[in-house]
Structure formats: C-alpha cells, structure tokens
Structure 1
Amino acid sequence: MDVRVKNNVRVVGAENGPTVMLAHGFGCDQHLWRGVTHLLAPTCRVVLFDHVGAGASDRSEWDEEKYSTLEAYAADVVTIAQELGLHGAVFVGHSVAAMIGVLAVADQPDLFSKLVLLTPSPRYLDDTDYRGGFSREDIDELLESLDSNYLGWSAAMAPVIMDNPERPELGEELTASFCRTDPACARAFARATFLSDNRSDLARVTVPTLVIECANDSLAPRGVGKYVHDAIAGSELVTLDTSGHCPHVSDPEVTAAAVLAFVDAS
C-alpha cells in the first residue's frame, strides 16, 4: 500500500523551506490544520496526513486490534517520514498526536530535528501526585457515552473541547469533524487515547522540544503542560492566552507564530 494513499499524505508550501509535519488529534483530520498551514506554507514545506480511520485515509487499512495502541499510529508516522525521505523534519502533534510524536521521535530521532507538542497530555487519568484532569469514572462514562451514541457524544463534547462559546461555529466545525470519522475507528482511537499512559516515554525524547499549552483547557489542564515540560530535558513551555483544546483552529495566528518561532530558532 502506498503510504500517500493509506494516510492521505499531502505536501504543500515552500519546497526548499524547513519541513514541518502536522499531525491531528482524536476525531479530527488534516483539514483542521488549514489556518496554520496557510501561515506556515510561505516559508515551510508542510506535510499533512490523516491517521488511518480518519479523514480521507484508506479505511481498508484500519484494523481494530492493530490500532488499539498509540504505537501503531507512531509507526505510521515513521513510515510516512521514511517514504518521503524526511530528515530533520519538525513534527507538530496536536493532543494525542503529541504523544504519538513522542513515541515516533524517541524511536527514530534521526528523522526529526525538533518536536512541537500542542496541548499534550501523557495521561488523562488522575494518579498519585499527578492530575491528568479525569477520574476513572469520568473516562468510563465518556467511553460508555461514545459507545452508545457516538453522534450524540460528538455534538455534546465538541463545544466543550473547543471552549469558545462566543464562536459557536468552531464547536460546530469540530462536531462535523467527529461525525466524519467512522464510529468504530473513533471508539478504538478513543480508548487508545484516554487510557494511555506515556509519562515514562517523555524522558526518551532527545530532540529540542516545544510544549504549547492554553491558558484554559478542559482536556489538558495547565499543570499537565508543566509536567511534560519538566519531564523533557531542555524543553520550552509556551502558554497561549487562549481557551480550548484546539488553538490551531480557534487561534491559528498565535499557534502558527509559536511554531514558526521555534522552527526558525537555531
């Protein structure tokens, strides 16, 4: 299977500029990067793709058992980078794709020169001396609701995740993105996302890393960003003065500015 077809890979922007790979989170696809892509493309070569089961990826490649862990998605990232001949690319991962990037970069650091973690969370479940933002009961209820009524769950959760009530069109866009995702694929990806624990993987990252958090984020509270920053040696932490878990959609200008400043830094 051609990886360009499997993951709906697109390459846009400045052919000779630094390469930036953008990876979307749960329930999303590459389309939600469009605001950031527009701002990166004049100076960067931008690689976009859809995780298997999302967007315009080849659904025949999706296997529930295989894609029950984040490692499978990380392996796809590595394959894409290898097939495109990327060396020294900057990987930008949103939400769960941040941890997918951590796994990919830790396993193949020569493929990537830098790592950008946008609203990351290495563990959503609270633990002793760690606040991920959710109790086990919260996660069980979330997954049960997703299983029983995926479309209803999408309509209820998307505005909460976006957290820009004065701009309802943003929540509607995220709802539409959720609804474009096959429910079976979404359920498996949700379990891989919300039940994962990648805290120990953070120390494996050896490339320069930027952690971007939002001032108000219901899925990844402020303390989570600091935890990730503290766990990755030499990383930088930037707090955007914005609300919600998807600043690349709600505030693409400030998100792109933070990414570009890091890409251009020596």
Structure 2
Amino acid sequence: MFILPRGRMLQDTRQSEIYNLLQVHRTCTITDLAQRFDVSDETIRRDIRQLEEEGFAFRVRGGVTLKETAAEAPYLVRRNQNAEKKQAIALKAAALVEDGMTILIDSGSTSYWLSRALTKPRNLTVITNALDVAREMTGRNGCKVFFAGGEIDYDYQSCFGPDTEAFMNRFTPEIAFFAIGAVDSRRGLLDFHYPEASLKAAICAQASRVVALVDSTKFERQGIIKALDFKQIDIFVTDQTPPPQLLTALNEVEVLIA
C-alpha cells in the first residue's frame, strides 16, 4: 500500500505525487488532494494546471483526470514516483549480482535505484547509457564502469542511438537489467520512447540473463512502442503479484516479488 506523506512538500514533488496517484486512481478530487498534502484548494488547482500544461492530466469539474495518452514524465520527476516500490525492486534485483560480474544497466528510474542498491558486490564491470547510473557506480568497491556515450537526451539523462547500441553490443554481460515503462499481457514489454525501446531490442541478446524491472503501476499499462517479448527475458522483478492474465503471459519467466 502506497501512503502519501503528510505536511507541506516542494511543488515539483507534490506534482509528482499527484501524477503518481492518478496512475493508480485515474481521477482525484481537489478536496481530497488538498487534504492529503495539507495545502489549499487553490494550490492544488495550480498544480493541476501545471500538469495539464505539461500534457499529463486534464481538469474536470472539481478534480483532475489522468491523460491516458500522456507520455512518461521527465526523468527527474519519474525517478521519485513510486520510489518505495522501485527501491524494493532494486534490492531484490541487486541480490542477483555477485562479486566480479559483468552487468549491463539501462536507463530508467528503477535502474537508478538499482545502482543505489548495489553497495555490496565488489569488482563489478558495469555497462550503462545512463548518467545517474554511471555516477553512482564509478569508484564504488573496485567497479569498472563503461559509459555508452553519444548525444545526451536531456529528458532521459541518458544516451541512445546507433553509436550507443554499437558500443553496448561489444560486451557480453552476465545480466542485463532493463527498466520497463509498461507491460501488456497481450503485447509484451513496452516503452514510451522509441530510442529507449530500440536499445533494449538491440542489446538484449548479448546477455546471458535478461532481468526486467517493473513496478506494479506498469501492469496492463498502455505504452506506445514494443521493446521486448516475454520470451526475451529470464527474470521479472516486481513489487506485487501480477494479475492472472499477466501471470499467464509470464509462465516461462521466473517472477520475483519484492
């Protein structure tokens, strides 16, 4: 169960939490949001106007509704959405990593939390295209970090494209960790960003094991582009048991619940 903190919050954090609530409930009232965050109705209305201007929601009488076609929020906002779920997933995934392994960690907010959780393994070789992951892992416990460069995408704080994919494809990691934007039981693992989905598809075959990092808000969510089939992953790490239809689709995959 996700519990919102009481008391005043920074505006960008509050807007992030409102978006998080909309991911779960689809619609919220202004009165309920004002009580949850201990702010005035007018403050919530300003937050809603900002979310609407950024294309993540739209106003309705007395409240706000999730814009179903909204793309992912910018990375620095997404990183703190559902943080407790992502941290639990990261700890479970980190337990798969042993000293001396070569691992690949792609971009994504859950990937960031995984890099934070990898405090015990020593002498890792880490390949990543994510700036935050590279910063976290560089110099830690004798780790070697190989950053797949290129043009940095500001919204994703990562590099993508043919040069990035070619660099990452030169490595043969024992585990590749992929943060997933959406999961559909009929269509597979989805994303909201073509370059990100393209990178996953291009490099997954190089890894001995592919691990998908998926928090439960992504279940049966509508992405815009397919990244991977279920058969292309080996382990599915999440924070709660997937619904029956999704479990059926994952029947050949090891599902780890954080």
TM-score range relative to shorter protein: 0.3 to 0.5
Q: Radius of gyration: which is bigger? A: 2
Report the structure, 1 or 2, having the larger helix content: 1
Report the structure, 1 or 2, having the larger strand content: 2
Scaled by the length of structure 2, the TM-score of the pair is 0.37
Larger RCO (CA under 8 A, 6+ residues apart): 1
Scaled by the length of structure 1, the TM-score of the pair is 0.36
